[in-house]
Amino acid sequence: MIRKVRPHITQNEPLLFESSSPGKIGYQLPDLDVPAVDPAAALGESNTRREIEGFPEVSEVEAIRHFSRLSTYNYAIDLGLYPLGSCTMKYNPRVNEAVARIEGLAWAHPYQPESLSQGAMEVMAVLENALAEITGMDAVTLQPAAGAHGEFTGILLIRALLESRGNPRKNILIPDSAHGTNPATAHMAGYQVRNLPSNDRGMVDMEALVRLCDEDTAALMITNPNTVGVFEENITRIAAILHGKGAQVYMDGANMNALVGIARPGDFGVDVMHLNLHKTFSTPHGGGGPGSGAVAVKGHLEPFLPVPRLLRREGQWTWNYDRPDSIGRVRAFYGNFGVLVRALAYIMAHGGPGLKNATMDALLNANYIRTLLEPYYDHPHKAPTMHECVFSDEMQAKRGVRTGDIAKRLIDYGFHPYTVSFPLIVHGALMIEPTETEGKRELDLFVDAMISIAKEVEEDPELVLKAPHSTRTNRVDEVTAARKPVVRWKPAADEA
C-alpha cells in the first residue's frame, strides 16, 4: 500500500521557444553612459549577425513560471530518500549555498592580485590539509572538476612517475566491478585495460591478481569499498603485490563516505586517489553537476601534481608555477572553487568526530536496509556491507520482472530508484546507498515499499512492468529517443 505520496495537479509548460512572442523581453539594461557604437562599423558587416534565430522572447514572469513549473516535475533530496548507489546523495546543507555566495568569494577573479586573493587561497589551503588528513595522504590538488577528471589526473601522475623511472609501462588492472570511468580514464591516459575478475564475495580474486600483475603493469585502479559495497579485506596485500612489481595503486574514492574517520587509504597502501567532493562532502549534485574531483597523493607523486601549487612565502599565499616535473594543468585556473567552499563548510560543520559519526550512520543505514530486504531480494555477495548494498533481481526475474521495472515501480511509492544494472558483476543489480542523511522513518517507508513491490511481482507482475502509474510522465520510450535522435527544438516548419 502506497503511504508516501498522493497525486496532485502540476502545471503543464511548453518549451520556451513555443511560448515566445516577438518583442517580449524579461530584462532591462542600465542606460549606456558612453556613446553607443555601431556594431557593423566596429566589427564589419560580415562579422555581425542580424539576430539569434529562434532565441527565447518571454517576460520575466513567464520566465520564472517556466522554471518553477518545470522544477515541480523533479524528484530531489529535498523531497526524500535518493538511494542512488555509488552517488552518495546526501543532504546538501543550505549554509554551504549561503557562504559560497558571499561577494568576496563569489566575485573573486582568478587573475586578481594574490595580495587581494589571500582569503580564497587560504580556503583552498585549509581544505587541502583537511583532505590530506582524512585520506592519510601527503598532498592534494583541488584542480580536477569531477571524479573522472580526478581519475585522469591521478593516472597521468602515475604515468609521469613511471616515465621519470624510465618506463611508463603498458597496462592498468581494473576489477570487473569497476565504474565505467575507470577503464575510460585508463584509455585516455594511453594505457591498455586488463580486466581483473572478482571472487564470489565481490572482492578482488587474489590468484588472478598475482597472475596478471607484472612488469608491464603501471597500476591497479581499485575502488574501496568496492561497488558492491564491500571492503577489500586484502587491500594491504594487494598493494604489496603491486608495489612488489613496481606498480602503483590508484584508488577510486567515490565510496569514501564509507571510510571517513574509520580508515585511511594512505594507511593501507594507496599511492594516489580521487575524492568526489559532491558525494562524500555534500556539495549539491545540481541535476548532474558541478562536482570536484580532488586528488590526494603520497609524497613520491607530489612533484608531478598539476600547476599551479599553493605556496606559503613570507606569511602570504602565492601560486607556484615553477614545478619542472609537473604534468601541467588539467584545466584553466585552480579548480571548482565554489564547490571547494561548500566542501570545507561541510567539513567545518562536522569536525573530526562528527565526520566519523556520519560515516557510522551511513554504514548503519545500509546494513539496516540489507538486513530487512535480504529475505525478499537476492543478495549475491555475502561479505559484510559497508555504505551500500547490492541486490540482484534473480528472484523477480523468474516472473519476468527486471531491476529496471522494480525501479520504475518504486517511483509510484514515492522514492527515487536505486542505481540500476550496476555494477556489471551483479546480474540485474539493485544498488542501494541510503547515506547517513536518512532517519528511520524514511528508511522504513523505503523497506516497506520494496517488500510490497516484491509481493506485487508475485501477485501482479504486469502492475510492476507497466510502472510508473502515478507520474505526469509515465514510462519513457528511450529506445526511440536513441534510434531517431531529436536533440534540439526546431520550428514546426522545419520538422515538416
Partner 1 sequence: MLASIGAGSLEDLFAHLPAEVRFERTLDIPAGKSEYDIVNYFRQRASENATGYSSFLGAGVYSHYRPVLVDAVVSRGEFLTSYTPYQAEISQGTLTTIFEFQTMICQLTGMEVANASMYDGSSSVPEAALMAARVTGREGILVSRAVHPEYRETLATSVRHQGLHVVEYAYDRDSGGIDLEDLESKLDSTVAAVIVQSPNFFGIVEDVRKAAELAHKSGALLVVCFTEAVSLGLLEPPRDADIVCGELQSFAISPSYGGPFAGIIATKEKYLRQIPGRIVGETKDANGNRAYCLTLATREQHIRREKATSNICTNQALIALMATVFMTVYGKEGLRELAVQNLSKAHYLAQQLPRRFKGPFFNEFVVSGNGRPPEQINETLLTRKIIGGLPLGRFYPELAGGMLVCATEMTDRQAMDAFVGVFVAEEALAK
Ligand X SMILES: Cc1ncc(COP(=O)(O)O)c(C=O)c1O
Question: Interface with a copy of itself by CB under 8 A: which residues?
Answer: 3-12, 19, 21, 24, 28, 59-62, 64-65, 68-69, 72-73, 77-80, 91, 93-94, 349, 411-412, 414, 437, 439-441, 470-472
Residues of span 243-272 touching partner 1 by CB under 8 A: 260-264, 267-268
* 106 binds, options ligand X, a copy of itself, partner 1, none, Cβ within 5 to 8 A by partner type: partner 1
Question: Do 445 and 3 contact (CB within 8 A), yes or no?
Answer: yes
Type of residue numbered 100: A
Q: Which is nearer to ligand X, 423 or 468 (CB)?
A: 423
In the region spanning residues 192 to 231, those forming contacts with ligand X, defined by CB under 6 A, are: 223, 227
φ/ψ bin of 54: left (φ > 0), alpha (ψ from -120 to 50), beta (otherwise): left
Q: Which of 135, 141, 143, 276 binds ligand X (CB under 6 A)?
A: 276
Q: Is the peptide bond before 22 cis (omega within 30 degrees of 0)?
A: no
User: x/- contact string, 87-126, with partner 1 (CB under 8 A)?
Assistant: x-x-xx-xx-xxxxxxxxxxxxxxxxx--xxxxx-xx---
**How many residues contact partner 1, by CB under 8 A?**
196
Contacts of 33 (CB under 8 A, 6+ apart): none
Q: Which of the residues 199 through 228 are near partner 1 (CB under 8 A)?
A: none
Nearer to ligand X among residue 279 and residue 409 (C-beta): 279
Cell readout for 406 is 522494480
Site for partner 1 in 439-458 (CB under 8 A): 440
CB-facing half-sphere around the CA of 5: CA atoms within 13 A = 21
Q: What is the DSSP letter of 378?
A: B
Binding track, positions 109-148, relative to ligand X; x by CB under 6 A: -------------------------------------xxx
CB of 446 to a copy of itself, least distance (A): 13
Q: How does 274-292 read in b/e, with b if 16+ C-beta sit within 10 Å? A: bbbbbbbbbbbbeeeeebb
Partner interacting with residue 223 (select from partner 1, a copy of itself, ligand X, none; CB below 5-8 Å by kind): ligand X
Amino acid at 82: Y
337-373 and 440-459 helices, crossing angle to 10° = 50
Strand partners, 392: 378, 429
Contact of 275 with 131, CB cutoff 8 Å? yes
Q: In angstroms, rounded to a whole number, what is the distance separating the alpha carbons of residues 269 and 415?
A: 39
Report, in Å, the least distance between residue 455 CB and partner 1.
20
Q: Residues 154, 225, 269, 293: which binds ligand X (CB under 6 A)?
A: 293
Q: Write the binding mask 283 to 302 for partner 1: x where contact by CB under 8 A, - elsewhere.
A: -xxxxxxxxx----------
Q: Is the peptide bond before 168 cis (omega within 30 degrees of 0)?
A: no
Per CB under 6 A, the list member of 143, 153, 181, 359 interacting with ligand X is 181
Residue 432 is placed in which grid cell? 542501494
Q: Which residue has the cell 503511504?
A: 3
* By the rule CB under 8 A, 158 interacts with partner 1: no
Query: Shortest CA distance to 81 belongs to which of 382, 446, 339?
Result: 446
Least separation in angstroms between CB 130 and partner 1: 6
**Residue 277 touches ligand X, criterion: CB under 6 A:** no
**Residue with smaller CB distance to a copy of itself, 383 or 411:** 411
> Which residues in 351-370 contact ligand X (CB under 6 A)?
none
